[in-house]
Structure 1
Amino acid sequence: MIGNGKQDMAVIVVRDADAVAAALREALERAGDAERPGLQRALGLAVAQSGVPDAELRGGWAGRRIRAAGHEGPLDSVAAVKALRTAEPGLSLRQAVRLSREAAALTEKAG
């Protein structure tokens, strides 16, 4: 993830799911009977990931970074924002707040 600028919320989400799905489709075409079930399962997972909204990808990334920094409390707290900015010094305060809110929204959605 890259923070760009102090005024904008410019966090880039990199999606490789489409390229992975294409490679899996090609492999599936050449696969023998023993490989097919595993490749079909992998293709299904890749296709499912390609439909995940950007906010969910950002929130998941931010939540993992916050937890890796040792924060165990709410993901949208001041301490979580501080942990995220410590882990990713290039993020502005505004970016870190938005990312922590997206991370917290994921935990609310899951719980």
Structure 2
Amino acid sequence: MKGFAGFDRKQDCVLVIRDSDIVTAALREALAGAPPEERPGLERALATVAATADATEERLRARWVRSRLADAGFTGDITSVAALRALRRAEPRLSLLAAVLLQRQAVAHPE
């Protein structure tokens, strides 16, 4: 049986949580009552949320992997064993299999 993230239950996973509809509604409400000087920033924020709301779970996981690698200071080849090691050091609770699957998603979905 597959879990939420597409991994078997025995594997670790990265669960994608989407709150973009809540954020979008809050931004629209803020924009409706915003003074003219705040409107450009709110409009840009709304556009940013809209642009990311359509991303697939795989793409979001790929971004997460790249973010974790960057936070860990890894700047090498994302397809390398060194990247896999860096990801597991950054997230020690990931199983080797989960880390490999996440690495593959990051490779398949470049920014």
For the superposition of Structure 1 and Structure 2, which TM-score range results when normalised by the shorter chain? Answer: 0.7 to 0.9
Percent same amino acid at aligned positions?
A: 47
SS of corresponding position for 2:55: coil
* Match of residue 48, structure 1, among 27, 46, 51: 51
Aligned to 2:22: 19
Aligned length: 105
Mean CA deviation greater in 72-81 or 20-29:
72-81
C-alpha displacement of 1:67: 2.9
TM-score of the pair, normalised by structure 2: 0.80
Aligned to 1:68: 71
Structure 2: stretches of 5+ with no match in the other structure: 1-6
Residue 45 to residue 78, structure 1, CA distance change in 2 (3 Å): same
Once residues 33 and 62 of structure 1 are traced to their aligned partners in structure 2, the CA distance between those partners, rounded to angstroms, is 38
* Match of residue 89, structure 1, among 89, 92, 97: 92
Structure with more helix by fraction: 1
Structure 1: stretches of 5+ with no match in the other structure: none
